Amino acid sequence: MLKRNLLVVIVPLAALVILATTIHAAYQPGEEGTICLGCHENKDLTLSLKNGEKLPLYVDGRLLTGSVHRSLRCSNCHTVFSVNNHPERQFKTRRSFTVSTSEVCRQCHRFDKGIHFKMLNTLKDIVCVDCHGSHSIKAVQEDSFACESCHKYGMTMSFKDGSEQSLRIDENALGASVHNKLRCADCHFGFSSKEHPERRFADKRDLTLVSTEICRRCHFDKYTKTLESIHFSKLAAGNIKAPVCVDCHGSHRIGAGRTEKIRSARRCERCHSDIYKIYSSSVHGSALLSDSNQDVPVCADCHRAHDIGDPHKTDFRNNIPQMCGNCHANEGLMKKYGLSTAVLQSYLEDFHGVTLTFYKKQNSPVRHIAVCIDCHGIHDITKTKGPNASVVKANLRKRCQKCHPGASENFPDTWISHYTPDYKRAPLVYAINLIYSIFIPFMIVGLVLQILLHIWRYAVNR
Q: What is the pLDDT of residues 302-316, one digit of tens each?
A: 998 899 988 888 888
Reported pTM: 0.63
Can you give the residue ranges of every domain in the chain?
Answer: 2-110+125-139, 309-420, 423-462
For residue 345, name the pLDDT band (cuts at 50, 70, 90).
confident
pLDDT surpassing 80 at residue 450: yes
pLDDT surpassing 80 at residue 298: yes
pLDDT surpassing 60 at residue 8: no
Q: What pLDDT, on a 0 to 100 scale, did the predictor assign at position 452?
A: 93
Q: What pLDDT, on a 0 to 100 scale, did the predictor assign at position 134?
A: 83
CA dist., res. 292 & res. 262, Å (int): 8
Residue 106: closest CA among 77, 74, 81: 77
Q: What pLDDT, on a 0 to 100 scale, did the predictor assign at position 354?
A: 87
| Exposed / middle / buried, residue 193 (Cβ in 10 Å: 0-12, 13-18, 19+) | middle
Residue 194: closest CA among 161, 154, 234, 146: 146
Greatest mean pLDDT range, 95-104, 187-196, 287-296, 390-399: 287-296
In angstroms, what CA-CA distances link 443 with 431, 435, 436, 450, 451?
18, 12, 10, 10, 12
Greatest mean pLDDT range, 133-142, 162-171, 233-242, 244-253: 233-242
Residue 123 · residue 155 · CB < 8 Å: yes
Residues near 187 by Cβ (< 8 Å), separated by ≥ 6? 179, 214
Q: Compute the CA torsion angle 242, 245, 251, 257 (nearest 10 deg).
A: 120
Per-residue model confidence as pLDDT tens digits over 81-125: 887 888 887 888 888 888 888 888 878 887 776 667 767 766 667
Overall average pLDDT of the 416-442 stretch: 83
Taking all residues of the chain, what is their mean pLDDT, rounded to a whole number?
81
Overall average pLDDT of the 239-264 stretch: 84
Q: What pLDDT, on a 0 to 100 scale, did the predictor assign at position 10?
A: 52
Question: Residue length, the chain?
Answer: 462
CA dist., res. 150 & res. 131, Å (int): 6
Q: What pLDDT, on a 0 to 100 scale, did the predictor assign at position 124?
A: 66
Q: What pLDDT, on a 0 to 100 scale, did the predictor assign at position 9?
A: 45
Q: Compute the CA torsion angle 113, 116, 118, 119 (nearest 10 deg).
A: -170
Residue 140: closest CA among 184, 192, 175: 192
CA dist., res. 156 & res. 164, Å (int): 6
Q: What pLDDT, on a 0 to 100 scale, did the predictor assign at position 127?
A: 79
Q: What pLDDT, on a 0 to 100 scale, did the predictor assign at position 361?
A: 78
Q: What pLDDT, on a 0 to 100 scale, did the predictor assign at position 74?
A: 86
For residue 21, name the pLDDT band (cuts at 50, 70, 90).
very low
Per-residue model confidence as pLDDT tens digits over 160-181: 998 988 888 888 888 888 888 8
pLDDT surpassing 50 at residue 26: no
For residue 244, name the pLDDT band (cuts at 50, 70, 90).
very high
Q: What pLDDT, on a 0 to 100 scale, did the predictor assign at position 60?
A: 87
Q: Is the dihedral of CA 107, 109, 114, 116 positive or negative?
A: negative
Q: What pLDDT, on a 0 to 100 scale, did the predictor assign at position 272?
A: 93
Q: What pLDDT, on a 0 to 100 scale, did the predictor assign at position 236?
A: 92
